[in-house]
């Protein structure tokens, strides 16, 4: 576990506590794309458990169980928090992340928004 992981989780949590969420239809569409994406990664250890707790705390109910312990392999964001997020609160890719996302996950829903 890195300090950056903890910082990112805390940032995501604080954002999730105060933010609106997208419609169920939009969240379902995002989840379908993430579930087929080769860049989704399993989150293990403390961060994985924390993501589940934080996701439960956000209580959106918009992320399927099979994605509850996954993160985006491009930006490292928890899918529990990323999938329901409104555009204003979404992760903004660095140039390097954008390059990787375009190459490894061309169908990523985030590319159409950011
Ligand atoms: S690259 Fe996009 S579609 Fe793939 S896991 Fe990350 S957010 Fe989901």
Q: At 57, is the pLDDT very low, low, confident or very high (cuts 50, 70, 90)?
A: very low
Q: Tokens at residue 64, please?
A: 């399927």
Instruction: Please tell me which residue, 108 or 13, carries the higher pLDDT value.
Output: 108
The 3-state secondary structure of the chain, one letter per residue: CCHHHHHHHHHHHHHHHHCCECCHHHHHHHHHHHHHCCCEEECCHHHHHHHHHHHHHHCCCCCCHHHCCEEECCCCCEHHHHCCECHHHCCCCCHHHHHHHHHHCCCCHHHHHC
Average pLDDT, the chain: 80
Cα(27)–Cα(63) distance, rounded to whole angstroms? Answer: 7
Q: Tokens at residue 24, please?
A: 């169920």
33 CB near ligand 1 (under 6 Å)? yes
The share of the chain scoring above pLDDT 70, in percent, equals 68
pLDDT tens sequence across 59-108: 557 888 888 889 999 999 889 888 988 898 888 899 999 999 999 999 99
pLDDT at 9: 59
Ligand 1 atom closest to the Cα of residue 33 is 3
Hey, which of 38, 40, 67, 104 would you mutate to test ligand 1's pocket, going by the most ligand atoms within 8 Å of its Cβ?
40
Cα(63)–Cα(42) distance, rounded to whole angstroms? Answer: 15
Nearest of 85, 94, 78, 4 to residue 41 by alpha carbon: 78
């Amino acid at each position: 576990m890195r300090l950056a992981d903890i910082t990112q989780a805390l940032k995501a949590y604080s954002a999730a506590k105060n933010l609106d969420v997208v419609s169920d239809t939009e969240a379902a569409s995002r989840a379908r794309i993430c579930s087929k994406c080769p860049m989704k990664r399993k989150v293990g250890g403390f961060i994985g458990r924390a993501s589940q707790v934080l996701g439960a705390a956000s209580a959106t109910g918009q992320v399927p169980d099979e994605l509850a312990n996954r993160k985006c392999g491009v930006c490292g964001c928890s899918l529990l928090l990323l999938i329901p997020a409104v555009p204003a609160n979404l992760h903004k890719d660095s140039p390097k992340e954008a390059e990787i996302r375009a190459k490894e996950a061309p169908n990523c829903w985030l590319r159409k928004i950011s």
